[in-house]
Amino acid sequence: MNYTLNNIPERTVKPRQKGLTMVMDKGLSLRQVEDFLEVAGTHTDIVKLGWATSYVTPNLKEKLALYRSAGIPVYFGGTLFEAFAIRNQFEDYQRVLDEFGMEYAEVSDGSMDIVHEEKCEYIAKLAKQVTVISEVGSKDATKIFAPYKWIQLMKAEIEAGSWKVIAEAREGGNVGIYRGTGEVREGLVDEILTQIPDERIIWEAPQKEQQVWFIKLIGSNVNLGNIAPAEVIPLETIRLGLRGDTFDYFLNK
Amino acid sequence: MNYTLNNIPERTVKPRQKGLTMVMDKGLSLRQVEDFLEVAGTHTDIVKLGWATSYVTPNLKEKLALYRSAGIPVYFGGTLFEAFAIRNQFEDYQRVLDEFGMEYAEVSDGSMDIVHEEKCEYIAKLAKQVTVISEVGSKDATKIFAPYKWIQLMKAEIEAGSWKVIAEAREGGNVGIYRGTGEVREGLVDEILTQIPDERIIWEAPQKEQQVWFIKLIGSNVNLGNIAPAEVIPLETIRLGLRGDTFDYFLNK
Amino acid sequence: MNYTLNNIPERTVKPRQKGLTMVMDKGLSLRQVEDFLEVAGTHTDIVKLGWATSYVTPNLKEKLALYRSAGIPVYFGGTLFEAFAIRNQFEDYQRVLDEFGMEYAEVSDGSMDIVHEEKCEYIAKLAKQVTVISEVGSKDATKIFAPYKWIQLMKAEIEAGSWKVIAEAREGGNVGIYRGTGEVREGLVDEILTQIPDERIIWEAPQKEQQVWFIKLIGSNVNLGNIAPAEVIPLETIRLGLRGDTFDYFLNK
């Protein structure tokens, strides 16, 4: 930090199990990755190459090497897993992970229907190859699950081998754990937290109000995802009580 | 592409007559242009320097040279044509096009009223000098044309010499072919397509939902414009059925 | 300018007392600062490192040196002043300003309650050390002041030593002088302008519609703030009547 302020909430340090910031790269150039790492590398725990953008991104191997040299794990968005799975190309997907030296992978069913036992089998298979993150929740705004269902799915996926489960929101932050307006489904989140330890969940929270809401609920060291590269520094200040939204939230704690 | 997925819709290749992506540069630096070209150059067909930003953009000749070296045509936004026309400086505009070695130009009447015959005369004159793109639709949200009027204007401008006609939406995507909310005027688009071949039209579609709507209506190889530089990779995945929004749209075709 | 257009409104030149563009940097990398300066340096009068982002921004001294070499003053957002003040670390704040060679500072009370005499004392103290900008208005959307109160506060702060007073809007442009929707509180602005010279006020106006509104009210050379780096060129075109929104506004003046 550039100067000393008293009474700043403590942040966990890397490698973090809680307090993670997961960033979405949806097409940065190599130089833009370098710029991102300069500014936000120390505050970023893991990077997702959004959905299947890796299919059309030039210089993919060079990009992965840049993140690797900064010690930041990268994974392909879950939609890519689904794109292979729906084409019955799961083994090709496994080969692609190897070919690019991936150490993490996401399993999701946001765009296709998969019987949940089958999804858990995919998780178990991939967990032998890489660290698995799995995502719960549909990208389809009309598919609403009851809280008990979210809990059931998350529990089963953790048992199947997921390191963390992600609560779906998309890049926009307007499905899954949010209403179409971006507002948090508060009762849903509260109920999930009665059953699943918060450090096992990464909450997708691309909008500032969503980040603030989760930080006030769970604390500075909540796991947040789908953060835009330019929003990592702003998010870090919110975690530390150094932006208006949480300015007095940690002062007397 | 970085790996092989079966059953991906076929994309046309450059130089494209359909399936064009037109990108709006509203003030990139030279290095930002290089970054853009690295990531999105192969997926970008033509670049517009938004409205009259070229008036105040430093290093304009160097920027044009960068795009030229990547084989991507550039043109000044239509508002610049209008800024010259309304000041009775049309001949100055023609000289500016020559001075900067422009091979494309846009003729529009989004900000000023021009008798349509006169607009067509401008198109015809410029078509002797450069490739002309003309834009139909007002930037004024309160000026609503009936579909037959859109068709009449588009037809006349194509006859006058326009290579493509652009359907106005602005940078925000909230006028012309869209309602103030960004929603597509579907009946209008359907009716236009009964009379004008889709490959002659570039639909301004800065918002993701608008891009998805047109891709579902016309296909992967629809011409779309006013795409932000950072949205070219995301758009390409939507065209290819590799983002949630069109994930299963091309699978059984 | 890259070519000649007649009848363009005259812009003041640097160092400006009116017609200022204040830009918010909320975490640019060094290279991104260079890119920004290339494109927008000549149109930018002063840069704010948003709220307390300077606490977590790497390479802070190098960043300040880059802006300094371009002749553009920089200051830390007012929330940083408040973060020190609420911790009874005001003297530490003064030392930080010296350590980083700051020549400007902002005094605000957007996130904490300060008795106004005390705020004015802070202004007076800092005015002996640096050029002070002070901000009026709360970041809390529920705290609404009557116009006479805004005027009273602004007058007192100017008397206490503020070079300019800022009318609060936040990064989003949805509090203070704006409604939650971003709409200008027009009566409030009109009334303020009956008592405070417009060149003493910097209006935070991050949204395009807000910029347009103020330019139409006060003219090309209104002081505007919280402009995103990529929006400086677009703003400059609006000031010059070269974007649709003000296209015919200056033509007959």
- Tell me the three-class secondary structure of B201-233, residue by residue: EEEECCCHHHHHHHHHHHCCCCCEEEECHHHHH
B142 interfacial to chain A (CB closer than 8 Å): no
Q: What is the pLDDT of residues B154-184, one digit of tens each?
A: 999 999 999 999 998 888 888 899 999 999 9
Q: What is the pLDDT of residues B212-238, one digit of tens each?
A: 999 999 999 999 999 999 999 999 999
Partner residue opposite A86 with nearest CB, options B35, B43, B251: B251
Contacts of C35 in chain B (CB under 8 A): 29, 31-32
Give φ, ψ of B51 to 5 degrees. 30, -120
Please report which confidence band the pLDDT of residue A253 belongs to, taking 50, 70 and 90 as the band edges.
low
Chain B: nearest CA to A5, how far in angstroms?
A: 36
Size of interface A-C (CB pairs under 8 A): 88
Contacts of C234 in chain B (CB under 8 A): 26-27, 50, 53
Looking at mean pLDDT, say which of B97-111, B133-147, C140-154 comes out highest.
Answer: B97-111
Chain C: nearest CA to A232, how far in angstroms?
A: 9
Mean pLDDT lowest among A82-91, A178-187, B100-109, C64-73: A178-187
Chain B: nearest CA to A102, how far in angstroms?
A: 14
Taking CA–CA distances from C110, the nearest residue in chain A reads A244
Question: Using an 8 Å Cβ cutoff, are A50 and A25 in contact?
Answer: yes
CB spacing of C234 vs B53 below 8 angstroms: yes
Q: Which amino acid is at A62?
A: E
A86 interfacial to chain C (CB closer than 8 Å): no
Q: Which chains touch A (3 or more CB pairs under 8 A)?
A: B, C
Size of interface A-B (CB pairs under 8 A): 89
Q: What is the pLDDT of residue B253?
A: 67
Q: What is the pLDDT of residue B138?
A: 85
Separation of CA C151 from chain center = 18
In a 13 Å sphere around the CA of A133, the CA atoms on its Cβ side amount to 28
Q: What is the pLDDT of residue C18?
A: 97
Contacts of A80 in chain B (CB under 8 A): 242
Mean pLDDT lowest among A73-87, C121-135, C174-188: C174-188
In a 13 Å sphere around the CA of A176, the CA atoms on its Cβ side amount to 26
Q: Closest Cα to residue A110, out of A84, A149, A81, A148? A: A81
Q: What is the pLDDT of residue B144?
A: 85
C94 interfacial to chain A (CB closer than 8 Å): no
Task: Give yes or no for residue B147 having a pLDDT over 70.
Answer: yes
Please report which confidence band the pLDDT of residue C133 belongs to, taking 50, 70 and 90 as the band edges.
very high
- Range B21-246 classified under CATH 3.20.20.70: yes
Kindly state the average pLDDT of the residues C233-245.
98
Q: What is the pLDDT of residue C144?
A: 85
Question: Using an 8 Å Cβ cutoff, are A106 and A133 in contact?
Answer: yes
A35 interfacial to chain C (CB closer than 8 Å): yes
Chain B: nearest CA to A26, how far in angstroms?
A: 7
Partner residue opposite A237 with nearest CB, options C28, C31, C52: C52
Q: What is the pLDDT of residue B171?
A: 84
Q: What is the pLDDT of residue B231?
A: 98
H/E segment holding residue C34: helix C30-40
C53 interfacial to chain A (CB closer than 8 Å): yes
Question: C-contacting residues of B 211-240, CB under 8 Å?
Answer: none
Give whole-number Cα distances, C13 to A116, A126, C17, in Å. Answer: 65, 62, 9
Q: Closest Cα to residue C199, out of C76, C45, C93, C52? A: C45
Residue C144: partners with Cβ closer than 8 Å, 6 or more residues away? none
Kindly state the average pLDDT of the residues C207-228.
97
In a 13 Å sphere around the CA of B71, the CA atoms on its Cβ side amount to 9
Q: What is the pLDDT of residue C142?
A: 86
Average pLDDT of chain B is 96
Contacts of C96 in chain A (CB under 8 A): 3
Taking CA–CA distances from B233, the nearest residue in chain A reads A27
Of all residues in chain C, the percent with pLDDT exceeding 90 is: 91
Please report which confidence band the pLDDT of residue A5 belongs to, taking 50, 70 and 90 as the band edges.
very high
Average pLDDT of chain C is 96
Please report which confidence band the pLDDT of residue C253 belongs to, taking 50, 70 and 90 as the band edges.
low
pTM greater than the 0.90 cutoff: yes
Mean pLDDT lowest among B29-38, C91-100, C163-172: C163-172
Give φ, ψ of A140 to 5 degrees. -90, 115
Of all residues in chain A, the percent with pLDDT exceeding 70 is: 100
Contacts of A66 in chain C (CB under 8 A): none
Taking CA–CA distances from C3, the nearest residue in chain B reads B55
Which ranges constitute the DSSP H helices of A28-146?
A: 30-40, 60-69, 78-86, 90-99, 116-127
Q: Which amino acid is at B37?
A: L
Task: Give yes or no for residue B25 having a pLDDT over 70.
Answer: yes
Kindly state the average pLDDT of the residues C150-158.
97
